[in-house]
Amino acid sequence: MVDPSDRHLFINRELSWLAFNDRVLAEARNASLPIHERIKFLSIVSSNLDEFFMVRVAGLKHQASGGIAELPADGMMPQEQLAAISERAHVMVTEQYRLWSKELVPLLSANGLHILTRENLSAEQKNAARQAFQTQVFPALTPLAVDPGHPFPHLRNKSLNIAMVVRRGDRRRKKDATESSMAVVQVPSVLPRLVSMPATNGTAFLLLEELISMHASDLFPGFAVEQSCAFRVTRNWDIDVDEEESIDLLASIQQELRRRDRGAAVRLEIDNAATPAIEAMLTSALKLSTSDVYRVEGPLQVSDLTAVSDVDQRPENRVEAFVPSQPPFMKDESIFTAIAQKDLLVHHPYESFDPVVRLLEEAADDPNVLAIKQTLYRTTGDSPIGRSLVRASENGKQVAVLVELKARLDEANNIAWARRMEDNGVHVVYGLIGLKTHCKVTLVVRREGNGIRRYVHIGTGNYNPATARIYTDVSLFTARPEIADDVTALFNLLTGYSTQPNWKRLAVAPNTLQTKVLEMIERETQKARKGEPARILGKMNALVDPVIIRALYAASQAGVEIDLLVRGICCLRPGVPGVSERIRVISVVDRFLEHARVFAFGTGTATDVFISSADWMPRNFHRRVEVMAPVEDAALRLRLLDEVIGLGLKDNVKARQLQADGSYLPRPLALDGQTIRSQTMMLEVAKRQVPATAEPVLRHVASPIDKPEPRATPGTINVA
């Protein structure tokens, strides 16, 4: 009998995340992609690692230093995890820079895009570099000495810096001539990282830190610069606010944001040419160990290098641009009319985010709209949704917005919107103490005839038009009274004093969401034990919760067929004999970031389908306000099964399958040799703009159980 608490049945969360980032790196290695798409993925690898170290590694270091042992289900101690992370991350960074220097830089040069170094400049380029330094860069620099009278400066998180060893040039003073000193120069982030240089063919750039290092002696008159190297510090970037003791949460978080740049260092990235003495000085000053040092053969902060694509508009060097299609109902005179007739589903980014924006814009100007309520977790700096909410308030409507100030890395942007909306009469609240409000919900209350009708939007992604073009998400629009009742109760809970209601249709964290998921898993488990067909399908960003994982193991042992699309972290081990033979886990990494959360339980017409803001993680179940909503329209359920889940499960181009040992392998081609790239096929589906009354574009392909026989119909992509 298998012990479900056996730690070997669980993959470590942090190592699973590194495996995900390695799948992103694999896209940068993919020679079939255009050069700028490969650089984009290389940049994402760096950005992902930044956040990983700022949050996850910082948290583990805090646990290790404080003697805290918050053991995950896999049983690894904090120090064990840090050691394993360091080993794998070093391998990843080495491969990342090998890829840059050995493959991408030569490919850029072959396309007339030259990244120069100070050693390979022509005389003309040296003169241009000198001119650029004196007129554009030198005035913005501040050299900082490091000696007993000048302590090591506090460097901002992720700032790019240059460490220098300088020696007094006056040889007449023997003592001074033998002494060397350290200095630090911060590379100004307000200046372009790529400095244009004259080129005999194509376009040439010199990195800003190279330009500064070339002319470092200008910063230290009377001294000779003997060595220089670029380096970068990553710090603990979490904020710590005692919400119960805070009188003004917004002011407290603003104060913490100002302090955050002073968080403890967790990683040092440094040019591989740095001498041991420079490395020792930096690790000592930053209180880091050698395992925290990442020496790189190439430019730091790779994400800046995507700017090279701005000067190269050749279509063959980038992915084909696309315009999201407009859903057919957008032709209706009013979006309220469309929603009143039937539930609507929009699949982003294949279909435009405009319906979400239009709902708020119409509501702001419609004289029959009485109130608008919305949760706002992340949005853009100049959000059309934010502007609509402000305009609605100016038009005399009651507008209440829950702005989540603790949305990690977006705190400052959310504070700015909260201030702006408050100044314009919007009722702004900041959620429940101790919880993040992560659900994406809008409620519009409208007078119609002699009564009131409520319109609801529930999404899997943020109210952010920018990310809606690069993240895959789904939006559900409905006017169903029981869902509207639940959403009304949710906002009353968030904005006022209220006990937990008896939810009619929604499952809401932190009280009922995990329980509902477990109930649905148990229902399928019991069906399988009776010999009935049973199936569980899930699409999510992460699967971590050990309670859910154990329930899935039990379901598999009972005979339930389980297919999961998990983009990132997955702590479940599929294919373990006697435990999870019937569980398959697929990860798709492609042009768009897979972000939708869709769950299905059952077979055939008895399948229950839900969309949610929540992944299956402890934080989503217990430390956040999340919503899972049923999709009650039969046609929309079928679309989610066929298109959103089904195509992902059939992908054999950009999908990789999780193995029991935690590794991911490419999926084999179909027996007939057919290649299925799910995101490409979904783009084609969206382009067709099939009317809402038409037969579904795709056949039911979501599960090996209860599939109808393949049948081709006009206008159908048949992937069964």
Q: Which of 71-80, 436-445, 498-507, 650-659 has the lowest mean pLDDT?
A: 498-507
pLDDT score at 257: 52
More confident residue, 291 or 243: 291
Q: How confident is the model over 64-89, as pLDDT tens digits?
A: 887 776 789 999 999 999 999 999 99
Phi, psi angle pair for 588, to nearest 5°: -110, 125
Neighbours of 607 (CB within 10 A): 20
Kindly tell me if the per-residue pLDDT of 392 is higher than 90.
yes
Same CATH topology for 328-502 and 508-688?
A: yes
In this predicted structure, the answer to whether residue 246 has a pLDDT above a threshold of 80 is no
pLDDT for 717 equals 32
Whether residue 114 is predicted with pLDDT greater than 70 in this model: the reply is: yes
pLDDT tens profile 656-670 = 999 999 999 999 887
3-state SS, residue 6? coil
Confidence of residue 214 (pLDDT cuts 50, 70, 90): very high
Confidence of residue 709 (pLDDT cuts 50, 70, 90): very low
User: Does the pLDDT of residue 176 top 60, yes or no?
Assistant: no
Bridge partners, 270 (sequence order): 231, 295
Q: DSSP code of 593?
A: E
Partners of 440 in the β-ladder: 459
Q: How confident is the model at residue 674 (pLDDT cuts 50, 70, 90)?
A: confident
* % of residues, the chain, pLDDT over 70: 89
Domain residue limits, the chain: 7-317, 328-502, 508-688
> What radius of gyration, in Å, describes the C-alpha atoms of the chain?
28
Least confident of 143-147, 228-232, 284-288: 143-147
Indicate the pLDDT class of residue 256, thresholds 50, 70 and 90: low
Indicate the range of 76-80, 306-310, 420-424, 529-533 predicted with least confidence.
420-424
Q: Residue 287 has what pLDDT?
A: 94
Task: Give dist(CA 318, CA 35) in Å, integer.
Answer: 7
Rounded CA-CA distance 535/563 in Å is: 8
Fold for 508-688, please state it: Endonuclease; Chain A (3.30.870)
Q: What pLDDT, on a 0 to 100 scale, did the predictor assign at position 181?
A: 86
The token pair that represents 588 in the structure block: 């798709």
Q: Is the pLDDT of residue 129 over 80?
A: yes
Q: What is the pLDDT of residue 138?
A: 94
d(CA 609, CA 613): 14
* Amino acid 63: pLDDT: 87
Task: State how far the Cα of 456 lies from the Cα of 443, in Å rounded to an integer.
Answer: 5
- 3-state SS assignment for residue 609: strand
Fold of 7-317: polyphosphate kinase like (3.30.1840)
Average pLDDT over residues 436-448: 95
The average pLDDT across 317-322 equals: 90
User: Does a cis peptide bond (omega within 30 degrees of 0) precede residue 349?
Assistant: yes
Q: Tell me the three state secondary structure of residue 156.
A: coil
The whole-number pLDDT of residue 409 equals: 59
Q: What integer pLDDT is reported at residue 69 of this predicted model?
A: 64
Q: Which residue has the higher pLDDT, 531 or 379?
A: 531
In angstroms, the Cα distances linking 377 to 54, 250, 253 are: 20, 15, 15
> What is each CA distance from 556 to 314, 458, 485, 519, in whole angstroms?
50, 31, 36, 15
| Local confidence band at 433 (pLDDT 50, 70, 90 cut-offs) | confident
pLDDT of 258 over the 60 cut = no
In the residue annotation, 348 being an active-site residue is answered as: no
Give the pair of three-digit tokens for residue 188: 């100004």
Contact (Cβ atoms closer than 8 angstroms) between residue 526 and residue 555? no
pLDDT interval class at 434 (50, 70, 90): confident
Distance CA 679, CA 592 (A): 8
Contacts 24+ apart (CB under 8 A), 675-681: 676/647, 676/650, 676/651, 676/652, 676/719, 677/590, 677/651, 677/653, 678/588, 678/590, 678/647, 678/648, 678/650, 678/651, 678/654, 679/472, 679/588, 679/590, 679/591, 679/592, 679/654, 681/647, 681/717, 681/719
Supply the angle between the helices 78-99 and 35-51 in degrees, to the nearest 10.
Answer: 160
What is the average pLDDT value for the chain, to the nearest integer?
88
Which CA distances in Å does 48 have to 42, 44, 295, 352, 654? 10, 6, 18, 26, 19
Q: What share of the chain in percent tops pLDDT 90? A: 72
Element (H, E) at 594: strand 593-594
Per-residue pLDDT, 44: 96
Least confident of 65-79, 132-146, 595-609: 65-79
Residue among 650, 680, 653 at smallest CA distance from 584: 650
Q: What is the mean pLDDT of residues 220-238?
A: 89
pLDDT at 642: 92
Selecting among 114, 438, 457, 595, the annotated active-site residue is 438
Please give the average per-residue pLDDT across 671-683, as a whole number: 89
Report whether pLDDT(571) > 70.
yes
How many Å is the maximal CA-CA distance in the chain? 97
pLDDT higher than 60, residue 689: yes
Checking if the pLDDT of 367 tops 70, the result is yes
CA dihedral 661, 666, 672, 675 (to 10 degrees): 150
Q: What is the mean pLDDT of residues 556-578?
A: 97
Residue 702 pLDDT > 60, yes or no? no
Please compute the mean of the pLDDT values over residues 541-566 and round it to a whole number. Answer: 97
pLDDT computed for residue 691 by the predictor: 46
Q: How confident is the model at residue 410 (pLDDT cuts 50, 70, 90)?
A: low
pLDDT band at 605, cuts 50/70/90? confident
Structure confidence at residue 703 (pLDDT):
45
pLDDT for the residue 178: 52
Locate all alpha helices (DSSP H) within 332-410, ordered by sequence: 335-341, 354-365, 384-394
Q: Enter the tokens of residue 526.
A: 């019991």
* Average pLDDT of the segment spanning 458-477: 95
Using CA atoms, how far apart are residues 429 and 422, in angstroms rounded to an integer?
A: 10
Does the pLDDT value for residue 247 go beyond 50?
A: no
Quote the CA–CA distance of 214 and 179 in Å, as a whole number.
22
**What pLDDT, on a 0 to 100 scale, did the predictor assign at position 597?**
98
CATH number of 328-502: 3.30.870.10
d(CA 196, CA 25): 28
pTM value? 0.90
